[in-house]
């Protein structure tokens, strides 16, 4: 179960080669630049956010053969941060219409927090592959059965989080919250909009089992980020503060993901995430 792949946040040798070739093609000392990227956080952020790196990422159709998914999403998120600084509003789709929302200051403030940006890059990278697990589940005393589930199945993960020991719940809580943010950020069209009608009208449509609307994803996302943040494992991994921020700013955290989904890979996101 994905928790936080700290290794994915470290640039690979291929990542470093790609960045240096894109940002400083004329450099005579590429090894020195690689060392600076690895040891100087401010230099690393500046180089990964460089226009030339972003352009190379966007123009190279085989970019995933050359860099890690975490670097790919970090480049897009840093570019998104710069683009949002140039506008006064984000856009939400409400009732089939695109509505401007003047909230960019809040979005910029959240994404400017380095741990949040790094968390989102790692989270998006985790969705480029879907894992399946098989675990033994106790049905009743002396009787067990094997349960197979996907790490994209909120219902199964929620059930497992209720039946597993307290000290093992962190990964389930975090993954459920991440799925909610991922769906509303990258695949908002998957959420069932407009199924809640005001008033006691008997004409309200019945939802199919397992389908959620925007409000459901938001409520579950906030709830499970809070539950994850409260776990001992969150403190041990130094994730408590980030998870609390996502709990408190869940709707805001959707916005940079909406931006990259709409502007950077709108027509190939199903291929990108294997969905």
Check if the beta carbon of residue 227 is closer than 8 Å to that of residue 213. no
Q: What is the pLDDT of residues 10-53, one digit of tens each?
A: 899 999 999 999 999 988 899 999 999 999 999 999 999 999 99
Q: What is the secondary structure of 147-208 as a DSSP string? A: EEEETT-HHHHHHHHHHS-GGG-HHHHHHHHHHHHHHHHH-GGGS-TT---SSS-TTPPPPP
254 vs 80: CA distance, rounded Å: 12
240 vs 226: CA distance, rounded Å: 9
Q: What is the pLDDT of residues 147-206, one digit of tens each?
A: 777 889 999 899 889 888 888 899 999 999 999 999 999 999 888 554 443 444 444 433
Predicted TM-score (pTM) of the model is: 0.86
Of 234, 235, 196, nearest to 212 by C-alpha is 196
Domain boundaries, the chain: 6-273
Rounded to the nearest angstrom, the gap between the alpha carbon of residue 38 and the centroid of all alpha carbons in its chain is 24
């Amino acid at each position: 179960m994905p928790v936080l792949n700290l290794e994915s946040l470290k640039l690979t040798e291929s990542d470093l080669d790609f960045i240096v070739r894109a940002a400083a093609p004329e450099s005579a000392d590429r090894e020195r630049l690689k060392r600076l990227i690895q040891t100087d956080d401010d230099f690393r952020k500046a180089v990964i956010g460089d226009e030339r790196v972003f352009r190379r990422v966007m123009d190279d159709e085989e970019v995933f053969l050359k860099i890690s998914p975490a670097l790919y999403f970090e480049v897009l998120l840093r570019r998104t941060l710069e683009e949002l600084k140039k506008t006064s509003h984000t856009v939400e789709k409400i009732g089939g219409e695109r509505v401007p929302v003047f909230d960019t200051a809040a979005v910029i403030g959240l994404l400017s927090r380095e741990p949040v940006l790094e968390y989102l890059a790692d989270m998006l990278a985790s969705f480029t592959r879907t894992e399946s697990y098989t675990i033994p589940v106790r049905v009743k005393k002396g009787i067990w059965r094997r349960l197979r589930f996907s790490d994209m199945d909120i219902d199964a993960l929620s059930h497992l989080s209720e039946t597993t020991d307290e000290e093992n719940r962190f990964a389930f809580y975090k993954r459920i919250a991440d799925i909610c943010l991922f769906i509303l950020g990258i695949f908002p069209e998957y959420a069932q909009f407009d199924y809640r009608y005001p008033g006691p009208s008997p004409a309200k449509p019945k939802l199919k089992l397992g389908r959620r609307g925007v409000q459901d994803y938001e409520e579950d996302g906030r709830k499970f980020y809070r539950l994850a943040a409260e776990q001992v494992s969150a403190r041990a991994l130094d994730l408590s503060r980030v998870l609390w921020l996502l709990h408190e700013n869940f709707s805001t955290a959707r916005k940079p993901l909406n931006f990259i989904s709409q502007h950077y890979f709108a027509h190939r996101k199903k291929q990108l995430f294997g969905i």
